[in-house]
Amino acid sequence: MKFCRFITANGSRFGRVETRDGHDVIVEELGAPQMQVTGAGVPEQIVLPEPGAGKVLDEPFPLERARLLTPFPVVSKILCVGRNYAAHARELNHEIPAEPLIFSKPPSALLAPGGEIVRPAISQRVDYEGEVGVIIGRRCHLLAEGESAKPYILGFTIINDVTARDLQNKDGQWTRAKGFDTFCPVGPIVNTELDPWSGIQVQTRVNGELKQDGNTRDMLFTIDRIVQHISQFCTLLPGDLIATGTPEGVGPVQAGDVLEVSIEGLGTLRNPVVNA
């Protein structure tokens, strides 16, 4: 199933999305996903509504005309993998990491599709990084080596891991450079049936010009390995988001630019850039 979250006259709603004649349209208003919790109140699992059980729209509504929100409310954290494509590590003159390199973004950095990415005044170089995003659907702790992460994944989306490159280099650790408000655009949809394991194309365009054109089969660490690695040091909770790294071709953005990250099966995440 593919779904989005959008604003209606009656508040925010989840919408089931289908591709018809090459265009993504909202065909049904879905009920809200349910969070199952343990007896101790710990989030355990997200249960999605059944397709067809909601309010089917008389007329399919074009996704590009909807007022979209981030497609899923992040519950506790956003974790990211740095340098997960060899060509990208090389373009920034970095060594290829021996194990997944993990950092985090605060949930306050989230930005809806169409929202403005704000270049902070204290940075002279802000970059785009188009990435596949993983949304956790089931609590995951101490995943065994070689075990599949699939049972713990709700679905996939697009993330733009916006980065203040000069501050990243200056600070050494990345919390500030990666964590500004608006530095985590996400969307437009979640696809629960996508298969990034078999290789899907990740493309980023700036003002229509192709800048990144990579494939998930070139990831240094697979999604299973990333989830396994993270789950050794912190429990992944349903609703958590993981950015899986960016292919080569990163570069700076200026106010007035329009960034588009497109991934097979996930559509296009489009955000304009402004100065603070």
Q: Where on the chain is the footprint of Mg ion (CB under 5 A)?
A: 129, 161, 246
Q: Tell me which residue has its CB nearest to Mg ion.
A: 161
**CA terminus-to-terminus distance, the chain:** 38
In angstroms, give the least distance from the CB of 201 to Mg ion: 17
Other CB atoms within 10 Å distance of the CB of residue 93: 6
Q: How far is the CB of 30 from Mg ion (least distance, A)?
A: 30
Closer to Mg ion at the Cβ: 28 or 129? Answer: 129
Given the complex with Mg ion, which of 246 and 271 has the nearer CB atom? 246
**Which of 161/260 has CB closer to Mg ion?**
161
**Nearest residue (CB) to Mg ion, 24 versus 161:** 161
Provide the minimum distance between the beta carbon of 250 and Mg ion in the complex, in angstroms, as a whole number: 8
Which among 244, 234, 236 is positioned nearest to 266, based on CA atoms?
A: 244
Using CB atoms within 10 A of its CB, is residue 182 exposed (0-12), middle (13-18) or buried (19+)? buried
Query: Shortest Cβ distance from residue 273 to Mg ion (Å)?
Result: 17
Cα separation, 231 vs 225, in Å, equals: 10
In this complex, which beta carbon is closest to Mg ion, that of residue 48 or of residue 259? Answer: 259
| Residue 246 Cβ vs Mg ion, minimum distance, rounded to whole Å | 4
Task: Return the sign of the alpha-carbon dihedral for residues 146, 150, 151, 154.
Answer: positive
- β pairing state of 258-263 and 267-275: antiparallel
